[in-house]
Every structure is written in C-alpha cells, then in structure tokens.
C-alpha cells in the first residue's frame, strides 16, 4: 500500500510524516510522531480522551483522518508547556487534584485551553458546557471545574505557597496528583459549547426498580 505524505505543524514545529492513508490523526500522532500524550479511548468519538487542537479548535483525533491534516496546525498536550514550564492549566490540575489517574487529563487540558483562548474569563456554566464531551471516571468533575477557574484567576501559586495544615499524607497525595498530570503531559502512563468535543452531557436516568 502506498503511504500518504503530508507536511503540517505540530506543537509549533514543522513536520513531515508518511503513514498508511487509512490512519486516523490519533494513530499518526501516537504511532508515527511518537506523541503518546493523546490517548486511545473509545475510538468512537464519545469519551474525549483523544482530543487535540486542530487549527486551534478542539477535535476528536480518533474521528479525523491523518490525510485531512496536511498544511494544518495540530496542538497536543505535549505542546502546552513552554520554556520548561507547565501551562497554568497543567499547574492548576496538578495542584488542585483535578488529575487522578491522568488518562482523560490530556484531552481535558487541550479542550480547556481552547475555551480560555476564546473566552478568557468563562463562567462555570461555560466551563461545564465546553468539557461536556470529556469523560472522567475519577474526579466527579468538581476538581476539574475548580482547576480551570484557578488557572484563570491565578490562584495556583497562592495555593502552593500556603502552609500545609492538613493531616499527614496530604503532601504525598498532592505529589502523586502532580505526577499524574505531568505524566499525562509527557505521554507516559502514571503509576498505580462553541468550544468542546464529543456529544453533550447526558442526563442521568432514574434507577430502575428491581422486580421481586
């Protein structure tokens, strides 16, 4: 099979890549460009784990063919840090416990970045709507919303400087959360609206009564 060859910009750097023409952008990023921060999830466009920015707009990379990306700009979670410093969103997620297992975090981070680029001071409802297509099984979303708000208001540095008055073990828990966020940014797995991706959030149905 003849390979496709495209030129594109990835995380601000020009790149050329050859790949089988049936590959999705997700597969090209992970398998051909070795950018493994973007995660395989459902591969049906329903979980948001594979979200990246395509020309500054969040897309589900599992639903975009690689051949469609010639001449375009792709930003993955690896491209959020600059000059050796994490993006304020990454700092906030690590410090405020919004990154637990870390698997969904890359998709949430790039989607949140797109939101803040378009709406620098979004409301909680706008944050919730933008992230409705990104599923998380660990946090219950509250920490995620709070971390986005903290990145906006610059509360992260103040939180980090505050003395630890909690019970023993808090420091190690916070360190684990930071490690999860940084591991997601690097592509490693952590150890044991108008902006947004995926379908809108579904309302929870009432539990069925069991038949006796």
65 strand-pairing partners: 24
The whole-angstrom separation of Cα 36 and Cα 14 is 18
Q: What is the pLDDT of residue 179?
A: 53
Kindly report, residue by residue over 64-95, the tens digit of the pLDDT. 999 999 999 999 999 999 999 999 999 999 99
SS3 string of 33-89? CCCCCCCCCCCCCCCCCCEEEECCEEEEHHHCEHHHHCCCEEECHHHCCECCECCHH
Kindly report, residue by residue over 159-201, the tens digit of the pLDDT. 444 444 333 334 444 554 555 555 555 555 444 346 676 554 4
Contact of 53 with 115, CB cutoff 8 Å? no
């Amino acid at each position: 099979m003849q390979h496709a060859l495209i030129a594109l910009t990835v995380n601000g750097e020009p790149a050329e890549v050859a790949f089988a023409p049936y590959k999705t952008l997700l597969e090209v990023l992970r398998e051909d460009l070795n950018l493994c921060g973007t995660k395989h999830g459902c591969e049906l466009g329903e979980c948001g784990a594979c979200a990246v920015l395509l020309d500054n707009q969040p897309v589900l990379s599992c639903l975009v063919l690689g051949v469609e990306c010639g001449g375009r700009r792709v930003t993955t979670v690896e491209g959020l840090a600059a000059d050796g410093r994490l993006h304020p969103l990454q700092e906030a997620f690590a410090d405020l416990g919004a990154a637990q297992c870390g698997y969904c975090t890359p998709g949430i981070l790039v989607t949140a970045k797109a939101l803040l680029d378009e709406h620098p001071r979004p409301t909680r409802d706008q944050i919730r709507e933008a992230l409705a297509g990104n599923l998380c099984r660990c946090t219950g979303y509250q920490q995620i919303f709070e971390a986005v708000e903290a990145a906006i208001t610059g509360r992260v540095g103040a939180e980090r400087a505050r003395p630890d008055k909690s019970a023993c073990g808090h420091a190690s828990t916070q360190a684990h959360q930071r490690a999860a966020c940084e591991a997601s940014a690097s592509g490693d797995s952590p150890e044991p609206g108008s902006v947004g991706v995926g379908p809108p959030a579904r309302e929870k149905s009432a539990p069925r009564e069991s038949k006796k």
